[in-house]
């Protein structure tokens, strides 16, 4: 849908809140295709070795046609597509490229909420006087990424996060969909009910039994009827079906918590692979905390099982931290308790930190913890090295458990106006 508000509209309509969702298409695989053009268009798996219980970290669009998805065992993926090429993932290198993309986004607004290495929400409401209408800003960002980073992004432009997220996903790859405020229901009504957040296999099957197949079908139901079938989630479904989502874009500096999560297209139960992904997530959270001089006192773990049951656990620390190791350790303990309590496979894994203190103001101990000081110095040194030489210049050994390759990589060629080179 390319129906965009025009200049003849009243001022209050033209400058209503508009959100962009920028989502890199098959990010890891696209980076590998860019760096190795001979792989472009051929079935490509980014993942670990099938002989070492490796898993698929990413799959390009060519191999997805064979049913291959991320988090699937590599051995299974090769049975589906025996002629696929396997490339070991370079997670720190992808983080370097994610930083390039983040610098492009920051040209247009400081209101950026990153969700992972390859996607972010942007509130561009206050940028219209400088850069034009939200759709124009979205196009400029998409073109800048293509020209300077030589990668493809899909962009959704809409009045809220929920709508923008759906919009960015509809026409991948290289999608660009605008949802004007006056056309929200026209946009939502024909979509399948599975597009609503929170509708997984179980809820979808229950809605199917009620004869509910599209978002319009949900919209025409009363809140009371939905609540009678789905409890508190019924009200949530009714609000989304009407296009309501009041959540704000929250930059890191204003956030009450900072978190990263990843959803596995195929459910995962390998304990070592899960712990390795947990380290990657902890490292991403730690980097963001250190970038903004923030420390948190509570570590959170989020786990979504294969049946879509979602649990969250938290552990408070003795002192606020921004250390990757001090985030990962309690998160790993919480994960172990979740794994020992259930035999279910895991669909989603997330790590977060909250309870922020006063930035650099850290209570000094009469007897300093030598291990804490060592880890803090390690993180600071690692960040400096990554800032100067790129994220690929350093790695944590546990990341190798899921087949990730971390080693210095040459910076990609970018356009002359580009910045110095985020599952």
What backbone phi and psi angles, to 5 degrees, belong to 411? -65, 140
Dihedral sign for Cα 144, 150, 156, 162, please. negative
336 alpha carbon, distance to own chain's centre: 23
CA distance linking residue 95 with residue 406, whole number of Å: 11
CA distance linking residue 77 with residue 308, whole number of Å: 23
Choosing from 119, 148, 261, 280, which is the catalytic residue? 119
Any long-range contacts for 373-379 (C-beta under 8 Å, 24+ apart)? 375/323, 375/324, 375/325, 375/326, 376/323, 378/325, 379/286, 379/290, 379/322, 379/323, 379/324, 379/325
Residue 203 · residue 308 · CB < 8 Å:
yes
What backbone phi and psi angles, to 5 degrees, belong to 68? -85, 135
Please give the DSSP secondary-structure letter assigned to residue 323. Answer: -
Residue 349 · residue 281 · CB < 8 Å:
yes
CA distance linking residue 85 with residue 44, whole number of Å: 5
CA distance linking residue 110 with residue 102, whole number of Å: 10
CA distance linking residue 353 with residue 334, whole number of Å: 14
In sequence order, the β-bridge partners of residue 346 are 268, 305
H or E element that contains 363: none
Nearest to 344 by CA among 303, 404, 389, 291: 303
Query: What is the CB neighbour count within 10 angstroms for residue 166?
Result: 23
The verdict on whether 261 is a catalytic residue reads no
Please list the active-site residues. Answer: 119
């Amino acid at each position: 849908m390319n129906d965009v508000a025009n200049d003849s509209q009243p001022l209050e309509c033209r400058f209503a809140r508009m959100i962009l969702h920028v989502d890199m298409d098959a990010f890891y695989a696209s980076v590998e295709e860019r760096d190795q053009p001979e792989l472009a268009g051929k079935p490509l798996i980014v993942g670990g070795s099938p002989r070492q219980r490796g898993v698929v970290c990413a799959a390009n669009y060519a191999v997805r046609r064979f049913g291959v998805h991320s988090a699937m065992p590599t051995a299974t993926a090769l049975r589906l597509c025996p002629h696929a090429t396997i490339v070991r993932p370079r997670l720190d290198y992808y983080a370097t490229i994610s930083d390039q993309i983040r610098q492009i986004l920051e040209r247009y607004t400081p209101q950026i909420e990153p969700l992972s290495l390859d996607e972010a929400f942007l509130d561009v409401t206050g940028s219209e006087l400088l850069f034009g209408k939200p759709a124009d800003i979205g196009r400029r960002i998409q073109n800048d990424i293509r020209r300077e980073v030589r990668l493809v992004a899909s962009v959704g432009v809409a009045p809220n996060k929920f709508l923008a997220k759906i919009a960015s996903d509809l026409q991948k790859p290289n999608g660009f969909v605008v949802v004007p405020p006056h056309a929200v229901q026209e946009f939502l009504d024909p979509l399948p009910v599975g597009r609503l957040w929170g509708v997984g296999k179980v809820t979808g099957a229950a809605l199917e039994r009620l004869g509910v197949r599209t978002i319009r079908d949900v919209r025409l139901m009363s809140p009371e009827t939905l609540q009678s079938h789905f409890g508190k989630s019924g009200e949530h479904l009714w609000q989304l079906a009407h296009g309501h989502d009041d959540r704000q874009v929250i930059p890191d500096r204003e956030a009450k918590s900072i978190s990263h999560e990843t959803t596995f297209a195929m459910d995962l139960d390998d304990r070592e692979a899960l712990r390795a992904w947990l380290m990657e997530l902890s490292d991403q959270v730690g980097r963001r905390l250190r970038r903004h001089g923030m420390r948190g006192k509570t570590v959170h773990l989020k786990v979504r099982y294969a049946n879509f049951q979602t649990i969250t656990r938290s552990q408070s620390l003795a002192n606020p931290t921004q250390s990757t190791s001090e985030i990962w350790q309690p998160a790993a303990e919480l994960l172990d308790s979740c794994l020992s309590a259930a035999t279910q496979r895991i669909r989603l894994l997330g790590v977060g930190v909250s309870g922020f203190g006063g930035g650099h103001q850290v209570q000094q101990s009469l007897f300093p913890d030598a291990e804490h000081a060592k880890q803090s110095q390690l993180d600071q040194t690692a960040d400096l090295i990554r800032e100067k030489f790129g994220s690929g210049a350093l790695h944590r050994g546990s990341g190798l458990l899921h087949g990730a390759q971390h080693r210095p990589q040459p910076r990609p060629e970018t356009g002359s106006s580009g910045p110095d080179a985020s599952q």
